[in-house]
Amino acid sequence: MSTAKPSSTAKPSPKLAATVLDGKALAKQMEQQLSPRVEAIKEKTGRTPSLATILVGDDPASATYVRMKGNACKRVGMDSIKVELPSETTTEQLMAKIDELNDDPDVHGILLQHPIPDHIDERACFDQIKLAKDVDGVTCLGFGRMSMGEPAFGSCTPQGIMYMLEHYDIELAGLEAVVVGRSPILGKPMAMMLLNENCTVTICHSKTQDLAAHIQRADIVVGAVGVPELIKAEWIKEGAVVIDAGFHPREGGGVGDIEMSGVADKASAYTPVPGGVGPMTINTLIRQTVIAAERAAGIEA
């Protein structure tokens, strides 16, 4: 009597399509939720929540970013106060202007647009911003408090990424995350936020040896290094979550820090470029300004 088992004709289950982490759509949805909160602040205080943006010099890209942030304020009913200073502004003059804004009760958030001219001590000026108004998450005090799990506004790009991961129900605890980049407003706070959510975090950078080996074992990859397509699609682990925080203009569009061609076939979720991380950065700035205004008004967020 034969004991041979019948051959199986079952086919392997097809791979589920990767989730597109649509930051543009999420930012629009969140703006709709912010508008009534802005109205509630106006009704209680008679003041309109306001973001002061400081632009030093005439860098065209910075001017574009400031304009985009001003437009986002208008969409939710907030005021945007534009402060434009000449490129020859000194560190002392810039710090004095920041102090004026710190003391102004009509200003709820302060943004110092990066970069500023080289002769100015950027770190000293960032740290001059009052913690309650540091809605861009750039002060050392804010970074330290965030890292320790204490109340503080997070840097807008990594905080926006965290909002996006939460919205798409991506469970982070126990995952291995690799952050490529170590800037004080992106790579470092990103790593701390992921660590605070119980990821095991590796920070890679320009001196990292065998970057591919680190990427290949990552459950979450965050490209935040500022080098076009440095991270190759072939390095991405099957089922990984891929977050590209870079954008580099190219003819007909642009690319990020991650080579996205082929990523959708391997990843479980990924951010498009553009339309992924960028819109969430600006939205987070607006959201945190609203929160700052609510706190100033004694309104529970």
Q: How many residues make up the chain in this entry?
A: 301
In the chain, which residues fall in CATH 3.40.50.10860?
Answer: 47-150
The label of the residue with tokens 């208008």 reads 74
State yes or no: is 69 an active-site residue: yes
CATH 3.40.50.10860 fits 47-150, yes or no: yes
pLDDT in tens, 215-235: 999 999 999 999 999 999 999
Q: What is the pTM of this model?
A: 0.92
Residues 243 and 222: their CA atoms lie apart, in Å, by 5
pLDDT in tens, 245-292: 999 988 878 899 999 998 999 999 999 999 999 999 999 999 999 999
Given 22, 97, 113, 266, the catalytic residue: 113
- pLDDT score, position 16: 74
- pLDDT score, position 14: 57
CB atoms within 10 A of CB 160: 28
In the chain, which residues fall in CATH 3.40.50.720?
Answer: 156-279
- pLDDT score, position 300: 79
State yes or no: is 58 an active-site residue: no
Given 22, 69, 188, 266, the catalytic residue: 69
Considering the segment(s) 156-279 as one domain, its CATH architecture is 3-Layer(aba) Sandwich (3.40)
pLDDT in tens, 87-139: 999 999 999 999 999 999 999 999 999 999 999 999 999 999 999 999 999 99
- pLDDT score, position 6: 47
Confidence tier at 1 by pLDDT (50, 70, 90): very low
- pLDDT score, position 9: 54
Given 22, 136, 244, 257, the catalytic residue: 136
